[in-house]
Amino acid sequence: MSDQILIFDTTLRDGEQCPGASMNIREKLEVARQLARLRVDIIEAGFPIASDGDFEAVKAIASEVQGPRIAGLARCVDKDIDRAAEAVKPAGDRARIHVFLATSAIHREHKLKMAQSEILKRSVEGVKRALGYCKDVEFSPEDASRTEPEFLAEVTQAVIEAGATTVNIPDTVGYAAPHQFGALIKHLYDHVPNIKNAIISVHCHNDLGLAVANSLAAIQNGARQIECTINGIGERAGNASLEEVVMALKVRQDAFSGYQTNIDSTQIYRSSRLVSHMTGMIVQRNKAIVGDNAFAHEAGIHQHGMMANRETYEIMRAEDVGRSSELTWGKHMGHHAVGKKLEEMGYKLSEEEVRRITDQIKTLADKKKQVYDEDVTAIVEGQFSEVPQVWKLGYLSVMTGEIPTASVRLIHAEKKEPIADAGTGDGPIDAMLKTIDRITGLHGSLTDYSVKSVTRGKDAVGEVTVRVTFDSRANVSPAGGETKIVTGKGVSTDIIEASALAYLNAINRTLYEHRRTAETEKPTL
């Protein structure tokens, strides 16, 4: 058996399922392009039957992103499979259809109300229908880790016989323990006679914080595809984190002898930043590999050891995952030079976008001494929103003190004159948000607010992320009274201004979503 481990990235499907993490097509395309630069083997681009937006995103990625295979998810239902096939078709030979059906007793009895024989039959039918469209078909017995091992072996054998090229064993609810999950994979190798005709994959959720450990245990017992996401985002507590699986295999070659992936690890940090920016899911500071503190050494004794020999406290170098800052951006750079450097960084931008970014770099260079790659990345990522700027910030002045007061001027895309107002609040941010609400006529509640410095230094650029719900008075809430969390981001050296930009970004996203044609109901997984 080969020791090559395939990396199946599901950031755009399972990752996007976490509340508030939804991305628009342009954002998904940028993430997919970055995943291609990272050299993942398979991109699961979405669940095409879920909505027209999902379908269009999968289709756009299948048409435009070169390199990895492009997968679309489908239940074992004809209309799902047909829709997934249509969406991944532009990928040609690189198209994959991923069909799934739950196999555990609890799902059979309470969700599906199907006997084992019915599950077997539908699984085989689903695989066969998908094979009618493309030769690369993956099957997932959902909740596999809580399925009777004998029945799981029976389903695995049947779908391989039907032609499935990959069988994925999901730990859907993050229930597995590493030694048991490894043993389950071994059980399949011992009891499925045709198992060598397919690649065995695993898809581990992180409800007990064991997703990466379970994935590694599966590899040691024969799994050769790992399903994972950037920053470990995904349903509930998320999925196995791509960067942790990949770096564990790379750094601990002694423990995982010979296993290798195709991943270009120097693209890991950029991928993490991009996904965090696009989804608004902030990476915790102490997150392995990509957290702010992952390579920071605070204690004097550690710093002393590091100076004597890096390896005293460092098992991998920051550069190995692409974490380094160059000081080569400046206000004297013309847009040609900026465009060339951005292209080297892997960004595909229009001439107009490059000009806009160049202007922003110049403005930033006037405000702070050094402009780092990370500053520029934050500016570039801000361009990826296809959301029209209905409301723009014209002017902002905030006074703190006993009665915090904000004066705000906003520009509306369809109104000739800017609209100005002033108001007070419990603090400067509250005063500013209330004033924006009065001007726009919306009523937002912050469910989350965070500020992060993009680079170091007192003059660092601050990135503000807000998560907001808008109440029904503004007539922008989704139908059915459901409260939708909208994420907004803003970047500035002034954090009050960054907060205003983030809030306006959330407003513009909400208005945009509201105006778009109503999406079809997402089927539940």
Which residues in this chain contact Zn ion in the complex, by CB under 5 A? 14
Nearer to Zn ion, 179 or 236 (CB): 236
60's CB contacts (< 8 A; 6+ apart) are 25, 28, 29
Residue with tokens 């940028």: 30
- Residue 177 touches ligand KIV, criterion: CB under 6 A: no
H/E/C letters for each residue in 338-395? HHHHHHHCCCCCCHHHHHHHHHHHHHHHHHCCCECHHHHHHHHHHHHCCCCCCEEEEE
383 part of the interface to ligand KIV, by CB under 6 A: no
Quote the DSSP letter at residue 112.
Answer: I
Find all residues with CB under 8 Å of 344, minimum gap 6, and list them.
none
Binding mask 183-222 for ligand KIV (x = CB under 6 A): --------------------x-x-----------------
- Residue 75 in the binding site for ligand KIV (CB under 6 A): no
Query: Which part of the chain contacts ligand KIV (CB under 6 A), choosing from 166-174, 206-214, 253-261, 299-307?
Result: 166-174
Q: How far is the CB of 69 from ligand KIV (least distance, A)?
A: 16
Closest distance of CB 201 from ligand KIV, Å: 9
Q: Which among Zn ion, ligand KIV, none contacts residue 140 (Cβ within 5 to 8 A by kind)?
A: ligand KIV
Identity of the residue, 14 or 82, whose beta carbon is nearer to Zn ion in the bound complex? 14
Q: Exactly one of 8, 100, 139, 372 binds ligand KIV (CB under 6 A); which one?
A: 100
d(Cα 260, Cα 283) in Å, to the nearest integer?
26
Shortest distance in whole angstroms from residue 525 CB to ligand KIV: 5
Q: Nearest distance from residue 168's CB to ligand KIV, in Å?
A: 6
**Does residue number 181 form part of the binding site for ligand KIV (CB under 6 A)?**
no
Q: Using the rule CB under 6 A, is 123 a contact of ligand KIV?
A: no
* Span from 146-154, 167-175, 297-305, 429-437 in contact with ligand KIV (CB under 6 A): 167-175
Pick from 41, 142, 375, 463: which binds ligand KIV (CB under 6 A)? 142
Using an 8 Å Cβ cutoff, are 204 and 239 in contact? yes
> Should residue 14 be labelled a site residue for ligand KIV when binding is judged by CB under 6 A?
yes
Residue 44 contacts which entry, Zn ion, ligand KIV, none (Cβ below 5-8 A, type-dependent):
none
Among 24, 123, 140, 405, binds ligand KIV (CB under 6 A): 140
- The binder of 525, among Zn ion, ligand KIV, none, by C-beta within 5 to 8 A per type, is ligand KIV
Binding map of ligand KIV across residues 486-525, x = CB under 6 A, - = no contact: ---------------------------------------x
Mark the segment that binds ligand KIV (CB under 6 A) among 168-176, 258-266, 402-410, 514-522.
Answer: 168-176
- 3-class DSSP state for residue 25? helix
**Parallel/antiparallel/unpaired status of strands 225-228 and 69-75:** unpaired
25-38 and 52-64 are packed helices; what angle lies between their axes, rounded to 10 degrees? 40
Residue 362 CB, nearest approach to Zn ion (Å): 44
Beta strands in 76-212 (DSSP E): 95-102, 137-142, 166-171, 199-204
Residue count, binding to ligand KIV (CB under 6 A): 10
> Vertex 125, ends 119 and 131: CA angle to 5°?
135
Q: What value, to the nearest 5°, has the Cα angle with vertex 2 and ends 129 and 167? A: 25
Least CB distance from residue 480 to Zn ion, whole Å? Answer: 25
* 172 or 279: CB nearest ligand KIV: 172
Question: If residue 160 lies in a helix (H) or strand (E), which one and from where to where?
Answer: helix 149-162
In the complex, what is the shortest distance from the CB of residue 13 to Zn ion, in angstroms, rounded to a whole number?
8
> Cα separation of 210 and 204, whole Å?
8
Q: How far apart are CA 444 and CA 408, in angstroms?
A: 17
Distance CA 461, CA 379 (A): 10
Nearer to ligand KIV, 8 or 470 (CB): 8
Among the listed ranges 19-27, 164-172, 307-315, 391-399, the one in contact with ligand KIV (CB under 6 A) is 164-172
Rounded alpha-carbon distances, angstroms, from residue 525 to 100, 142, 181:
9, 9, 22
Residue 319, amino acid:
E
**What sign results for the dihedral spanned by CA atoms 86, 91, 97, 98?**
negative
Query: Shortest Cβ distance from residue 46 to ligand KIV (Å)?
Result: 12
> What is the SS3 assignment for 173?
coil
Using CB under 6 A as the binding rule, whether residue 259 contacts ligand KIV is answered as: no
> Are 221 and 189 within 8 A, CB to CB?
yes
Residue closer to ligand KIV (CB basis): 83 or 203: 203
Q: With H, G, I as helix, E, B as strand and everything else as coil, classify residue 143.
A: coil
- Residue 14 vs 80, nearer CB to Zn ion: 14
| 203 or 434: CB nearest ligand KIV | 203
Q: Which of 82, 18, 8 is nearest to 45 (CA)?
A: 8
Nearer to Zn ion, 14 or 374 (CB): 14
Q: In the complex, which residues of this chain contact ligand KIV (CB under 6 A)?
A: 14, 100, 140, 142, 168, 170, 172, 203, 205, 525
